[in-house]
């Protein structure tokens, strides 16, 4: 029996559906969706780091429509698109049953890096992988969640072995149109712009949104012609540059991230700092509250009530510290908007607030301005309580308020289809 060819309207719907699917990284944890994109061009799928968005730019519209005229392939596309739509529309999620209040006032999760997939290399390691898996798990749970980070246009370095067997490093420029990023627009349809004061300059930035299933993650970038080159390069590479670059990146992440959420109309109930890199967000929350008329101590307590902190680093040398002169240089313009003496700001990042020579520590700032803090394993919790006991001199080490939540993973994101099928069959057979 000869199958009737798909009509133009049917083809248009399937093509549009594949493009919608490619712009949401839900496909990275759905094997059937990945198989569709791989089948369109197996060689390109391998060469393009298994990137669905890039595949649809590589394959011509004509080729795509020829594939869709194959009835079994077209049916698999329909099945995947139906699963995708069902996932997005599902209302009976864990979060709607157990945390419905977070739908309108979500958790804002700030991290200097997010590791989503090999095709978007804006992560350096475990910190980012944890953040990416948090976003995917929040999506599966239906949790009110919004991620905030930076868009590093050159990502993290790649490694290769040269002709002399030496390890070399190189960076690949990330083009937003080749990855599932959408530009963030204002109410008038123009690129949304925000500013943050760094040094004596107003640094402008824009943002992209990546859809992680049901949840959005916003990535900020300062590569704009209005900015000086040194500020444009703040979002060039993950952890690139010296201490001056680092403090400026962290001001953009923390202070800029809060301003981006305000511009988007997002009002979180909780601000989660994934490592100390993001701790300047707490300063900006305090500044907002003092600017609205709150006293310093009241603003501090109100900020503390809505912030939580995860520390990852088990060694002293790994915690960001900035000397007082660098703090004054980087924050000289921001300090004019800080409604309290600048020395009080500096004291928030010191173990010994009365010591004007002590460096400003981002972990200390995060601990002082959070209502809860945790390490990433039971052992790491013990190590962290020992490391930071001097911040709580009146408490015994085991009473230092740093707990632990053992790192987990987003299981489906780490299981290939064959492994997933094996466990599905084993578990079903053992019921």
Q: What is the pLDDT of residue 416?
A: 79
Q: Which pLDDT tens digit goes with each residue over 402-425?
A: 999 999 999 998 987 788 888 878
Task: Quickly list H helices, 388-429.
Answer: 417-429
Q: Given pLDDT bands bounded at 50, 70 and 90, which one contains residue 8?
A: confident
Rounded to whole angstroms, the Cα distance separating 56 from 178 reads 9
Q: What is the pLDDT of residue 115?
A: 96
Helix (H) or strand (E) holding 260: helix 257-264
Mean pLDDT calculated for residue range 13-29: 97
Residue 168 half-sphere exposure toward CB, CA atoms < 13 A: 9
Predicted confidence (pLDDT) at residue 188 exceeds the cutoff of 90: yes
Predicted confidence (pLDDT) at residue 26 exceeds the cutoff of 90: yes
Q: What is the pLDDT of residue 202?
A: 97
Query: Residue holding tokens 């093509």?
Result: 15
Q: What is the pLDDT of residue 131?
A: 97
Q: Which pLDDT tens digit goes with each residue over 117-140?
A: 999 999 998 899 999 999 999 999
Would you say how long the chain is, in residues? 431
Q: Is the dihedral of CA 79, 92, 134, 178 positive or negative?
A: positive
Predicted confidence (pLDDT) at residue 1 exceeds the cutoff of 50: no
Contacts 24+ apart (CB under 8 A), 297-305: 300/369, 303/369, 304/368, 304/369, 304/370, 304/371, 305/371
List every span in the chain annotated with CATH 3.40.50.2000: 94-411
Task: Name every residue whose Cβ is closer than 8 Å to that of residue 68 and which is 6 or more positions away in sequence.
Answer: 6, 11, 14, 15, 74, 77
Q: Given pLDDT bands bounded at 50, 70 and 90, which one contains residue 240?
A: confident
CATH class entry, domain 94-411: alpha beta
Q: What is the pLDDT of residue 426?
A: 79
Q: What is the pLDDT of residue 3?
A: 63
- Lowest-confidence segment of 167-171, 185-189, 386-390 by average pLDDT: 167-171
- Quick one: how far is CA 417 from the chain centroid? 26
As a whole number of Å, the CA-based R_g of the chain is 24
Task: Name every residue whose Cβ is closer than 8 Å to that of residue 274 and which is 6 or more positions away in sequence.
Answer: 109, 110, 111, 112, 127, 130, 131, 134, 310, 312
């Amino acid at each position: 029996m000869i199958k009737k060819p798909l009509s133009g309207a049917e083809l248009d719907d399937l093509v549009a559906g594949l493009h919608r699917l490619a712009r949401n990284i839900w496909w990275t944890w759905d094997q059937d969706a990945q198989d569709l994109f791989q089948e369109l061009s197996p060689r390109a799928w391998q060469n393009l780091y298994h990137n669905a968005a890039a595949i649809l730019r590589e394959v011509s519209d004509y080729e795509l429509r020829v594939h869709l005229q194959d009835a079994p392939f077209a049916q698999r596309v329909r099945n995947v698109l139906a699963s995708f739509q069902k996932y997005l529309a599902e209302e009976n999620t864990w979060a709607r049953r157990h945390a419905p209040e977070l739908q309108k006032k979500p958790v804002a999760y700030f991290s200097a890096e997010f590791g989503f997939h090999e095709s978007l290399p804006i992560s350096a390691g475990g910190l980012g992988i944890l953040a990416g898996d948090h976003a995917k798990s929040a999506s599966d749970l239906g949790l009110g969640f919004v991620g905030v980070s930076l868009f590093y246009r050159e990502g993290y370095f790649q490694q290769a072995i040269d002709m002399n067997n030496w390890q070399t490093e190189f960076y690949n420029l990330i083009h937003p149109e080749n990855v599932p990023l959408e530009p963030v627009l204002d109410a008038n349809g123009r690129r949304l712009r925000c500013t943050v004061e760094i040094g004596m300059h107003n640094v402008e930035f824009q943002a992209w949104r990546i859809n992680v299933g049901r949840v959005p993650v916003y990535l900020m970038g300062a590569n704009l012609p209005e900015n000086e080159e040194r500020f444009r390069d703040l979002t060039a590479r993950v952890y690139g540059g010296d201490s001056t670059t680092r403090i400026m990146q962290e001001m953009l992440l923390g202070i800029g991230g809060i301003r981006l959420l305000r511009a988007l109309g997002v009002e979180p109930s909780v601000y989660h700092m994934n490592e100390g890199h993001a701790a300047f967000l707490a300063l900006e929350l305090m500044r907002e509250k003092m600017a609205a008329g709150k006293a310093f101590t009241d603003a501090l307590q109100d900020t503390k009530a809505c912030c939580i902190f995860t520390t990852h680093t088990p060694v002293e040398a790994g915690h960001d510290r900035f000397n007082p002169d660098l703090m004054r240089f980087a924050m000289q313009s921001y300090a004019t908007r800080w409604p309290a003496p600048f020395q009080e700001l500096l004291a928030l990042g010191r173990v010994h607030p009365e010591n004007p020579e002590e460096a400003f520590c981002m972990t200390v700032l995060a601990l002082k301005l959070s209502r809860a803090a945790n390490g990433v394993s039971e052992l790491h919790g013990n190590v962290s309580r020992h490391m930071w006991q001097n911040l709580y001199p009146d408490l015994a080490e085991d009473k230092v308020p740093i707990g632990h939540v053992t790192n987990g993973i987003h299981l489906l994101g780490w299981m290939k289809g064959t492994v997933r099928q094996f466990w599905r069959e084993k578990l079903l057979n053992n019921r």
